[in-house]
Amino acid sequence: MVDTIRESEDIKDKWHLERWAKFTASENHKLLALTGQTALFSPGAWTYIRTKAMQSCTRMWERPELEEVKSLLHGKMYEYPAYDAYTRATNNSSMIYLGSENPLFLEYEELKGESGGSPDAININPASGIDILAEIKCPKNPMYHWERLKWTNQWDVKEGYVQCYCQIQNLLMITGAPLAHFVSYDERMVKENAKIKIIEIKPDRKFQDNLHFRLVRAIQEKHRDIEEHMSCYE
């Protein structure tokens, strides 16, 4: 048991190191333009870029996660039950769970060394490619899942939860998969079939092109910031 826990912690440490200083799918929504924004990047995006520049020149001193945040803990607690409900609902037992205890960081080959992401679950085809991925959300606030029960397509996800839509589109770019599933799960729902909501997400080329452009520019600005801070310390 102790060895298993230690192995799990080693996997998570490795995962955090692989993500360190990189622009990751779960955070890249910060690079998107805000309503009414005229500049390429918002103040929040600049903070994100400068953080990645700082991390590039700094050793990881602790896991960059907020274990005390209740919503994060809730999501981690229910993620595997959500995955189990998802595989039963889709009759896809070949989906591989890559959740919080066994995360896998995948590089974005077009921007290798600078960007990547971690799907919650993937289906590997006979040619060793990924043909389906899933992103699972288990909100602590039940109102979020309640609203998602009315959603019918990926445009509802884009409008109602653009952070996750961006994450999924980014993961589709990274994996080359033709299909993703957005999964919302709340085991507190009385009706069994209302506990889970699954929506198909296909590649949105216009959105992906915009995100790729912003990633390229963010990486350029990251390295410019590094040069400004570190040029006199060579």
Structural domain harbouring 36: 2-233
Question: How confident is residue 78, by pLDDT bands cut at 50, 70 and 90?
Answer: confident
Amino acid residing at 109: E
Q: Residues 6 or more apart from 197 whose CB is under 8 A from it? A: 145, 148, 149, 151, 183, 184, 185
Residue 19 has pLDDT above 70, yes or no: yes
**Per-residue pLDDT tens over the stretch 119-163:** 999 999 999 999 999 999 999 999 999 999 999 999 999 999 999
| 33 backbone φψ class: left, alpha, beta (φ>0; ψ -120 to 50) | beta
Starting at the earlier edge strand, list the strands of the sheet with 106-107: 23-24, 115-117, 106-107
Question: How many structural domains does the chain have?
Answer: 1
Amino acid residing at 14: K
Instruction: Check which CATH number belongs to the domain holding 90 and give it.
Output: 3.90.320.10
Residue 220 has pLDDT above 70, yes or no: yes
Burial class, 215, CB count within 10 angstroms (exposed 0-12 / middle 13-18 / buried 19+):
buried
